[in-house]
Amino acid sequence: MTSDPLIALRPWEAPEVTSWGRLPMNAVDRRSGAVSLDGEWRFQLLPTPVAEPGPRWSPAQVPGAWTLQDTGDLPWYTNARMPWGEFPPASPAANPTGVYEREVEVPAEWAGRRIVLQVGAAESVLLVHVDGRPVGVSKDSHLAAEFDLSAVVRPGSAHTVRLTVVKWSDASHVEDQDQWWHGGITRPVLLYATDPLYLADVTVRTRLDGELRVDCKVRQASGPLPEGWCVTGELDDQLLVQDTEFDRFNEEDGRISDFLGEARLGTVVDDVRAWTAETPELYGLTVRLHRPDGTVADTSFHRVGFREVEIRGRDLLLNGERIYVRGVNRHDFHPLTGRTVTYEDMRADLELLKRFGFNAIRAAHYPNDPSLLDVADELGFYVVDEADIESHDHAHEIADDPRYLGAFVDRVSRMALRDKNHPSVIIWSLGNESDYGANHDAAAGWLRRHDPTRPLQYEGAAKLDWADPALASDIACPMYAPVEDCVAHALSGRQTKPLIQCEYSHAMGNSNGTLADHWAAIESTPGLQGGFIWEFWDHGILQDVNDGRPAGRAGTGLYERGVAAPGYRWAYGGDFGEVIHDGVFIADGVVFPDRTPKPVMYEHREIAAPVRLDRERGGLRISNHQHFKDLRWLAAEWSLSLADGGTRTAPADLPDLGPGESASVPLPFVLPEDGGEAWLTLRVTTAGDEPWGPRGTEVCVPQVRLRAPDPVAPVREPGEVEVDDDGLLAHPLLTFAPVLSLWRAPTDNDELGGMAARWHEQGLDALVRKAVAVRREDGRVTVLAEYATGAGTVRHEQVFTRVEGGVRVEESAVLPDGLDDVARVGSVFETVAGLDVLEWFGQGPWESYPDRSSGAPVGHHTLPVDELFTPYLRPQESGGRHGVRRFTLSAPDATGLSVDLTAPAQVSVTRYRAEDLAAAAHHDELVPRPGCVVHLDAAHRGLGTASCGPDTSPSYLIAAGTHHWSWTLRVL
């Protein structure tokens, strides 16, 4: 193989060899008439690129990563670090290399045509051979590579196509993204044919006034262009007009050559329907290339959206309107197939995001599968299209390294050439976490010249100075900037660019605290326009626990509602034997690996609600918080929830409101004189079928409180509560009496933010209770206890009183000054087995916490205990419900216990003690307890996002000093 010119190039070592024999990128649609080469190929995995294939082959699926197909080379996760120590541009000598082969029958009817092979994506270097003859080389793991096979294949004959994929290369240093490392061919492979006279590229430009311009480039496969060719087009049924002045200008300017032709088509659409994320109106554009005799040589179809993007001052405008960017970062990912995703997968992703109020996607950190943009055009999403550039481990060196200059420009330009005609793409991104240098400026210069219709952004440039206009970012797009800093910048008078964070809330484990606070600041501060949550997926790979291998495609159906089937688990960094890895940092999405929404999705849905509800004197105010759409696509229903269990519903007629408008409406109910605390909810749903959800899909549930609770003092009864000699409550339904709790099983934010280590040093995870005194007086039992910690002694008092039907518990805890940031202050107890259903009045039905509770409306909720727990990939504190007023735990025969809380509290009911969760790395290690572990927290620390970003705000921390809470326990 050493005589092979492709091997002689050693492209896995040479950054200047970004391609050889690869055709230029273009935006011409070639899917019609193509022959799919997907399916089973012969495969060998070699130890190095220069090793010779042997006689033995195994089957491999294309597309698909070989790391998920039982080849012996397993997935590997690192975040910022490279998985090996070589410096750029070197790669390791031990370099897995996959060789794919199959016979390809070239259709006989393609005789005389130009024949092209397209490989959708290969990680990270692709070498193409046909019948042993070298054809070409390509790099860039996330864009298609095309090769002209016309000279090496014969229509009507079978040929052996070999695709050699080298896993590691100099290019790996600029693909150092926060994701699993794989190897293989991860997107579809196809063969297509064109006439020798063909469309080389099509560029579509639109204006909001209905003007359409289509620039076409034409080539002849060999020899000069024939005289008399022409291009025609139509937009739906409207014919386009050829711009003869454009052709004459080019001829006079000498820019038309014998080998490249250019033509411009155009029209003006009357009463044009504008494209936005709320109103994704599309037109069908067909472009035809005609031979001199008038017959059609080539055709390309595009879906066109009329819209304009501009930055005016410090505002990003779409169609002249300042928009909010409610975004999420998205990788191509699937728990069984890695980065190989189907059209159906991508559509399901975007339909889910649409149902939860997202309107924007950042393609992190590379151009996503091209079909994603088709779906984004159709469903309505604003896309930040990002080049496949991240050199995290060696960012500073590579940013100015001239050996990588070509790679930077190549990756940025090919992305723009592929995706430029999609209306959903409103911003270009130069990449991610690659410092900032001359290579970025070169790529930015090419991009600004090629496409002046869109702004570009790059966080590495913007972070140097959010306001500097000379840097290669039209948008201030920081990562995880504290909201206070963002507000201060917007109010400073220095702001010159829109501030839209490319990452601002890190969804790792039980997280995304203060999301509502962040958006309250955005919506109240001119100059702030939103951002992108990191990220969409938990990248857990389904793993067979018995043999440690990925389940692969055989794992279909082995997970449900975010939980893997027995014998399987969601694997994260280190689970495949990686020596260098970054653990569970790969699990930081708003959905579980199977696309089950995490509780934060409901929080976001309410924050992004198109309909808002506020209380005003004498009634209510309903507001339309959309940018472009009225409310006619929505239906609604009123629901009244009373503390005593009473509920009422009534149809709701939404007022006729345009974007940004509001109106007063009367109360839909006469509030009853009794019933206690009262909450009014407006359940808003789709009035008809939408492309992303059927009629009746819930859109939001805005809520207002109509009446505050009346304080109710339990009726005291004679007799004394039974308390043992240690001052512990004796109760027939409790197996573990209520004691003080100051600790939670650390969340990922707690671990990476340093709180977990501090709590451990303080001994909060192993409190030892010491009874100081038990005093019985006038039917009341007062118990004083002390807990020694590394920061001083905590004094805990419990007062037990017999009341009607049960026991009244009044508690206080005095925390010394050294305990100024604990996880919780409250009681924990355990129940007998058999109490399997929780009913509560409070926020729900999904999990909520003090700094992530806006999406959980107050009402009456019921769930099985086993469904209360949220299975974050690494077990941790979860399953809590905020603002609970009372609850019951019952058995099937309706026996059980109830708890009434004097003030709304944070309550969790699970099958696990905090220490059970903290000791487990995966859920298959957890053993549920037969009873319930119940926490009643007078105060619970906010979640924040400290695993990557700011911690929770000070208002959600628990201060030292005295804390009071009280509750009543009754038997049902």
Q: Which burial class, exposed, middle or buried, applies to 271 when counting CB atoms under 10 A from its CB (0-12, 13-18, 19+)? A: exposed
Please, which residues have CB within 8 angstroms of residue 342's CB and are 6 or more apart in sequence?
none
The Cα-based distances of 625 to 60, 279, 583, 607, 628 in angstroms read 50, 15, 40, 11, 9
Q: Where are the alpha helices (DSSP H) in 240-320?
A: 244-253
DSSP string, 912-923: --HHHHHH-SSG
What pLDDT does residue 640 have? 97
696 burial (CB, 10 Å; 0-12 / 13-18 / 19+) is exposed
Which residues face 280 on adjacent strands? 275
Structure tokens belonging to residue 538:
């938990």
Beta partners for residue 707, in sequence order:
678
Bridge partner list, 908 = 880, 935
Separation of alpha carbons 149 and 506, rounded Å: 46
CA angle 635, 636, 639 (to 5 degrees): 165
Q: How much is the pLDDT for 949?
A: 93
DSSP 463: T
| Element of type H or E holding 447 | helix 438-450
Give pLDDT, residue 376: 98
Query: Beta strand pairing status for 315-318 and 321-322?
Result: antiparallel
Structure token digits, residue 611: 């309909």
- The H-or-E segment that residue 736 falls in is strand 734-741
Query: Given this model, what pLDDT does residue 260 score?
Result: 86
Supply the pTM of this predicted model.
0.97
Residue numbers of the chain with a pLDDT score lower than 70:
1-2, 245-258
